[in-house]
Chains A and B, each alone.
Chain A
Amino acid sequence: MAVNHITDAVRALIGLRSDWIEACHPVEASEVRRFFQALMDPNPRYWDAASPAAARYGGPVAPPGFAVHAFRRPPDEIEDPLGADGDPEFDGTSRLVRRGLPRVPVPLRGVLNGGYEYEFFSYPRLGERILCRSAYRDITQREGRSGPMVLIVVEDEYATGGEFRPLLKSVSTLITR
C-alpha cells in the first residue's frame, strides 16, 4: 500500500457518535410536493388528508426516505454552496459527511455514493420536526483501479416529533478516491 490514509486522526473518528441534530425547519407541504413531483410519485398519502393512507398515518406524510434529505442549508448560513471561493474545479459538494460529525481528514477529492441499507419505522407528518444522530461505523482503505479509495460507513438514526418517534435507521457507504 503506497499511501495509508487511515491515520491515527482518521482512526480516532471510528465509533464517534454525534448529538441529535435538528433540521433547520419542520416538514413543509411545498417541500414535500416538490420532492414527490421530482420523484414522479404523486401518491395521495403525501398530500391528501382525506386519503385512506392519511387515516393510517394521522395525516399526509413525507415519502419514506425524505428525512435523509431534510438537513438543508439554514437561512443564517452565509457560505454559498455554489461558490467555493472561485475554484473552477469545485464539484459542488461540501464533503461534510453529516452536519453533526467532524470531517474525515482524507486528501481525496472524488466522492461517490456506494449504497444504503434502510430500516423504516414511521413517516414524518407535515409540520413535524426531523432529528438525526450519526456515527462513523467504519473507515477503511482499499486499492482501486485508479489508486486508493477510502470507504466511510455512516450509521444514522432519524426521529421526529417531540417524542423522538423513530423514523428510520440507515447505514450508508461513501467512497472517496
Chain B
Amino acid sequence: MGAIFEDVEIGQEIPRLVKGPITTAHIVRWSAAMENWHRIHFDWHYATQHDGLPDVLVNGSWKQHVMIQLVTDWAGETGWAWKIAFRFRGMNLPGETLTAWGRVTGKEERGRFGVVDLEIGLRNEQGAEGTPGTARVVLPRRGGPPVPYPFDPAVLAG
C-alpha cells in the first residue's frame, strides 16, 4: 500500500533506496540498455586520458531513474508521483554505493486528496550530495478514493 496523507508528517523521511556498490558492469549494462554511446561511461582510456576524469562515470540518466523510483515507490499504487525535479551537481564513480533519500517539507489538502512536497537527493557513502532536487506527490486521504489514473491535475481543484 502507498502512503496515506493523514499519516505524513513534515520532517519525516521516506524509505531510502540503496544501490551499489556500482561497478563498471552496472554502468555498461545501463549504457547498453539505453543505447547511450557516450564514451565517458565505458571507455576507461577515453574517460581518464582524453577527458581527464578519475574513472568512467555513472550515467546521469541512471541516477534520474533512481530518483523517480524513490518517489514512485513511496507514492504506491494509490498515490501519484506528480512532479520530480533535480540537478546533476556531482559525478559518481564505480565503487560508490548510492542512497536515494527524501524528506517531507510540506503538506496541503487539495480537494479530496492531499499534496505532499519533498526534498530529495542521492548521496554516496561519504555523504556527498550529487543530485539535489524536489518532488510533489499526490496522496489519498484516509478512507478516501485512490488518486485517479491517468492523473489529471484538475482533480486537485476540489
Asked if A and B form a direct contact in the complex, defined as CB atoms under 8 angstroms apart, the reply is yes
Q: Is the CB of A63 within 8 A of B65?
A: yes
- A-B contact number at CB 8 A: 102
A119 to B81: give the CA distance in the assembly, Å. Answer: 8
B33/A115 in contact, CB under 8 A: no
Assess the A122–B149 pair: CB atoms within 8 A: yes
A35, A40, A43, A56, most chain B CB atoms within 10 A: A40
Shortest C-beta distance, B81 to chain A (Å), equals 6
- Take A38-B30, A69-B61 as given contacts and tell me if A121 and B151 are in contact as well, using a CB distance cutoff of 8 Å: yes
Top 10 A-B residue pairs of the complex, sorted by shortest distance between their CB atoms: A122-B150, A115-B87, A117-B85, A92-B37, A38-B33, A34-B33, A38-B30, A92-B39, A113-B60, A38-B29
Report which A residues bind B (CB closer than 8 A): 31, 34-35, 37-41, 43, 45, 52-53, 56-57, 63-65, 68-69, 72-73, 81-82, 89-93, 112-122, 165-166
Q: Which residues of B contact A (CB under 8 A)?
A: 19, 26, 29-30, 32-40, 43, 46, 50-51, 60-62, 64-66, 68-69, 72-73, 77, 80-88, 133, 146, 149-152
Q: A39-B69, A43-B73, A113-B88 are in contact. List 18 more A-B contacts (CB 8 A).
A: A38-B29, A38-B32, A38-B34, A39-B30, A41-B69, A45-B77, A56-B146, A89-B50, A91-B40, A92-B38, A93-B37, A112-B88, A116-B84, A118-B84, A120-B82, A120-B84, A121-B151, A122-B151
